[in-house]
């Protein structure tokens, strides 16, 4: 019902989601003026749009540096997008900062599971297999247990699969996808390095 849409509701929704005026109005009409329902609709549509942008070339971006208070831990991260214009925007730079803080706090070793060396994953598999056998698990369930533990291992060490440190119900990939939806460009995390004083390197 269009009459349920007030200027205040439009403003509130835009502040919450960063959506354009027309998109905010349409979502509120669809949600009968309910701001939280409209925000959910916008998020779902944004994620659907973001999925279509995957695979588009990302040759622009920034190298972002983050030094943790105390100057004993630092992160360098390369975040890529499609245009120099988006690379200079506040949401893009904000995402780079959130990702760098995630790397500092959660110590991932790669960006995606595909980047994990196969021999490293195989070592983990063998450890889990042995653990399951030591616990007397039947062979029929050992491999299922192993695959479940490998998945958990990947969530621990792959940046995009990790739970976001500020909201454990979302993954880091969700955070990137939401920014893609907001900015309308594909965004990829190219690489990162984490430095802790006194360590040889990560």
Give the C-alpha separation, 73 to 111, whole Å.
19
Give the C-alpha separation, 19 to 46, whole Å.
9
Q: How confident is the model at residue 58 (pLDDT cuts 50, 70, 90)?
A: confident
Fold match flag (2-53 vs 60-112+158-196): no
- What architecture does CATH give domain 2-53? Orthogonal Bundle (1.10)
* Domain 60-112+158-196 annotated CATH 3.30.479.20: yes
Q: How confident is the model at residue 42 (pLDDT cuts 50, 70, 90)?
A: confident
Instruction: Give the pLDDT of residue 53.
Output: 60
In angstroms, the Cα distances linking 34 to 31, 37, 44, 68, 127 are: 5, 5, 16, 40, 51
Instruction: Give the pLDDT of residue 14.
Output: 76
120-127 long-range CB contacts below 8 Å, 24 or more apart?
121/150, 121/153, 124/149, 124/150, 124/153, 125/150
Instruction: Give the pLDDT of residue 4.
Output: 59
Strands (E), 68-164: 73-81, 163-164
Instruction: Give the pLDDT of residue 17.
Output: 67
Task: Give tens-digit pLDDT for 156-170.
Answer: 999 999 999 999 999
Domain-wise residue ranges, the chain:
2-53, 60-112+158-196, 117-156
For domain 117-156, give the CATH number.
Answer: 1.10.286.20
Instruction: Give the pLDDT of residue 1.
Output: 42
């Amino acid at each position: 019902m269009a009459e349920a849409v007030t200027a205040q509701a439009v403003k509130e929704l835009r502040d919450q989601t960063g959506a354009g005026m027309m998109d905010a109005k349409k979502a509120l009409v669809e949600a009968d003026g309910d701001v939280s329902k409209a925000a959910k609709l916008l998020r779902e549509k944004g994620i659907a749009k973001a999925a279509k942008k995957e695979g588009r070339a990302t040759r622009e971006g920034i190298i972002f540096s983050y030094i943790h208070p105390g100057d004993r831990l630092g992160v360098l991260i390369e975040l890529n997008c499609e245009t120099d214009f988006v690379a200079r925007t506040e949401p893009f730079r904000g995402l780079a900062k959130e990702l760098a803080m995630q790397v500092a706090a959660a110590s991932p070793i790669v960006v995606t599971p595909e980047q994990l060396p196969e021999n490293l994953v195989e070592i983990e598999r063998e450890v889990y297999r042995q653990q399951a056998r030591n616990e007397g698990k039947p062979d029929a369930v050992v491999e299922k247990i192993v695959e479940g533990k490998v998945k958990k291992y990947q969530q621990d060490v792959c940046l995009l699969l990790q739970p976001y440190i500020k909201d454990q119900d979302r993954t880091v990939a969700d955070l990137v996808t939401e920014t893609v939806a907001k900015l309308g460009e594909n965004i990829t995390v190219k690489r990162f390095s984490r430095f802790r004083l006194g360590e040889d390197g990560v």
